[in-house]
Amino acid sequence: MTARPLASVSVDLDNLWAYLKTHGDPAWRRYPSFLPSAVPRLVELLGEHRLTTTVFAVGADVVREDGAKAVNEIAAAGHEIGNHSFGHEPWLHRYSRDRLEEELRRTEDAIVLAGAPLPAGFRGPGFSVTRELVEVLVDRGYSYDASTLPTWIGPLARAYHNRTAPPAARDSGRSELFGGFSRVLAPVHTYRWRTIEGGTLVELPVTTMPLLRTPIHGSYLLHLHEISPRLARVYFKTALRLCLARGVAPSLLLHPTDLLGGAEAPGMEFFPGMATPGSRKVAWLGWVLGALREHFDVVGTGEYVRRTESRRERAVTRMETWR
């Protein structure tokens, strides 16, 4: 019997305060949280689909009671916990090496204290990755990174952010959010970074539509679903068919906002999709996961990396700064 192709699913456990922070809303300093609503719903949905996946946690949440409880609950359900930085600032490309080390270490300590294993995978907020970050991840013993999004729409996403955010939110690195058009040239297949010292790190890109290089992650699919449910279904099915035809293993990214309605995330009216009720989002995401499982054996990102061998390599000394 021929084995089915692999796909992976991961969740960035971005909290309410993190969205407000990037948007420039000073209310983020009170660290409002929607994790008590989002996490049980997420664990239940993944359980219904018999999926074990990877959840990238933010250290500033995990050091608090609700974040530690969320990580413990997610890990107890059998899901991998990855590192999503400590402060969730999507401008890691401006960090010094020492600060990158601190971001990783503080989050690692919090995750372990919450009862989960030491993380083996990392994803940078806003898909921010640099040569220094890759080198630090190698030095700290990580087995993979999942911080790249090979698409050309970064400038469009940045334009939307700048149009809806207050002026102060366009400074301090935010003007470089989401990268440039050059990302269209980034690999869509898993590959390995190789450092000048000979260390290696697997890079698992978040999958975009083969050929078109447009996003297929949960929030983007939800935006299409708001426009037309039929369009969203056709779009995702087309993406899966192209992945099968071109040998691309889909790596599907989800967020808590893919499950929450606007009343459960006060202050996020600026974010696409928040007018849709949470129950409708859950039903839609259930369809997406079902469609993915119809064609692929779905695992978490760490398990995917363990099961596959990355033959392609890129020298980290020659990488561009992807942000």
Whether residue 183 lies inside any domain: the answer is yes
64 vs 176, higher pLDDT: 64
Whether residue 43 lies inside any domain: the answer is yes
Predicted confidence (pLDDT) at residue 156 exceeds the cutoff of 60: no
- Reported as a pLDDT band with limits 50, 70 and 90, residue 18 is very high
Whether residue 1 lies inside any domain: the answer is no
Asked whether the CA dihedral 39, 279, 16, 124 is positive or negative, the reply is positive
In Å, what is the CA distance from 268 to each residue of 22, 147, 201, 274? 11, 24, 35, 7
157, two tokens = 């996403």
Total structural domains in the chain? 1
The pTM for the full model equals 0.91
Domain with 175 in it: 6-318
User: How confident is the model over 69-96, as a mean pLDDT?
Assistant: 95
CATH number at residue 305: 3.20.20.370
Give the pLDDT confidence score for residue 166 in this predicted structure: 56
The separation between CA 7 and the C-alpha centre of its own chain, rounded to angstroms, equals 15
Predicted confidence (pLDDT) at residue 12 exceeds the cutoff of 90: yes
Whether residue 105 lies inside any domain: the answer is yes
Whether residue 323 lies inside any domain: the answer is no
227 vs 169, higher pLDDT: 227
Whether residue 17 lies inside any domain: the answer is yes
Whether residue 108 lies inside any domain: the answer is yes
Give the pLDDT confidence score for residue 179 in this predicted structure: 52
Average pLDDT, the chain: 89
Residue 115, Ramachandran bin (φ over 0: left; ψ between -120 and 50: alpha; else beta): left
Predicted confidence (pLDDT) at residue 48 exceeds the cutoff of 60: yes
CB 207 within 8 A of CB 242: no
Give the pLDDT confidence score for residue 319 in this predicted structure: 56
In Å, what is the CA distance from 83 to each residue of 50, 150, 231? 23, 21, 34
Residue 33, classed as helix, strand or coil, is: coil
Give the pLDDT confidence score for residue 159 in this predicted structure: 43
Predicted confidence (pLDDT) at residue 161 exceeds the cutoff of 90: no
Whether residue 134 lies inside any domain: the answer is yes
Predicted confidence (pLDDT) at residue 307 exceeds the cutoff of 80: yes
Give the pLDDT confidence score for residue 162 in this predicted structure: 47
Query: Which of the given ranges, 23-27, 271-275, 293-297, 318-322, has the highest pLDDT on average?
Result: 293-297
Give the pLDDT confidence score for residue 185 in this predicted structure: 74
Give the pLDDT confidence score for residue 317 in this predicted structure: 64
170 vs 286, higher pLDDT: 286
313 vs 318, higher pLDDT: 313
Predicted confidence (pLDDT) at residue 174 exceeds the cutoff of 60: no
pLDDT digits (tens, 9 = 90+) for 227-257: 999 999 999 999 999 999 999 999 999 999 9
Neighbours of 92 (CB within 10 A): 25
